[in-house]
Amino acid sequence: MTLFPFDDRDGWIWLDGALVPWRDARLHVLSHGLHYASAVFEGERAYGGNIFRLRDHTERLINSGRILSFDIPWSADQIDAASNAVLAANGLTDGYVRPIAWRGSEQLAVSATGTSIHLAIGAWPWPSYFGTERMQGIRVGEAVWRRPPPDTAPVHAKASGLYMIGSLAKLKAEQEGYADALMLDWRGRVAETTGANIFFVIGGDLHTPDPDCFLNGITRRTVIALATRNQMKVIERAIDPAELPTATEVFLAGTAAEVTAVREIGAHRFTPGTITETLMRDYDRLVLQSPAEVVRVAG
């Protein structure tokens, strides 16, 4: 695998109110966000020059900060404009956009009182996350790590610290030859994969875990809207791992993953079918539409 270091590239990053050369976009090593995970972020994709559901992502970023007890000192309109400016400055029409907000270096202790809030936005080319396997179906392992209960972590924020267990699970899955890992919640119920929500076709209907301890993803909500438009029955509920053999189709939904078929979870095998293919096709069409049309279709 060829690596392209993210600290040594040409281009521009929006940092605290201005576009700066890529290599100059830096923070101090003693920043609170680095040591104590007091940071929130978003993952967004641009298609044909439009960042898909940009305002939804921006509002979630702002809300995630508030859940972590800080206010990002830029408005949603300003963040949207900065995101589009970064895309244009880097000459991109299609790509990945990453805003991140964090506490600064004024204080380095568990307490965060008095720290300033910073915001950076980067953008870069990023093709399909799972490549050709997106259509054929990826292999998913079973994670040892579980999603925490909502009274032990800010589970409804897209907080950097919550991705540590996902990163560990993803690393182990890849070492074992899988593309991703299925994560359970603290009760032992199906939650999600390391960075995407999951859907099952059971008895001809679409079933997906109730997001009570993980993010109700923006792509997840988009897929549910598309399924409803296709007269598909969508059931959000607790799903036990013992139900996996009853599923005929499985797919993931997320900004990076888009809609990706799953052909294997551990010892269980699945065949991508009509429902997966329909929603994948409709999602791929929707992301190329105007922002107004996206709102009309997906809310």
Closest by CA position to 80, among listed 10, 14, 12, 127: 14
145 sits in which H/E element: strand 138-147
Check: CB of residue 166 under 8 Å from CB of residue 195.
Answer: yes
Q: How far apart are CA 233 and CA 224, in angstroms?
A: 9
State both tokens at 154: 């800010």
Residue with tokens 């593309």: 179
**Catalytic site residue 158?**
yes
Q: How far apart are CA 246 and CA 244, in angstroms?
A: 5
Pairing of strands 138-147, 117-124: unpaired
Check: CB of residue 168 under 8 Å from CB of residue 292.
Answer: no
Question: 68: which residues sit within 8 A by CB, 6+ positions away?
Answer: 38, 40, 154, 157, 159
By annotation, the residues acting in catalysis are 158
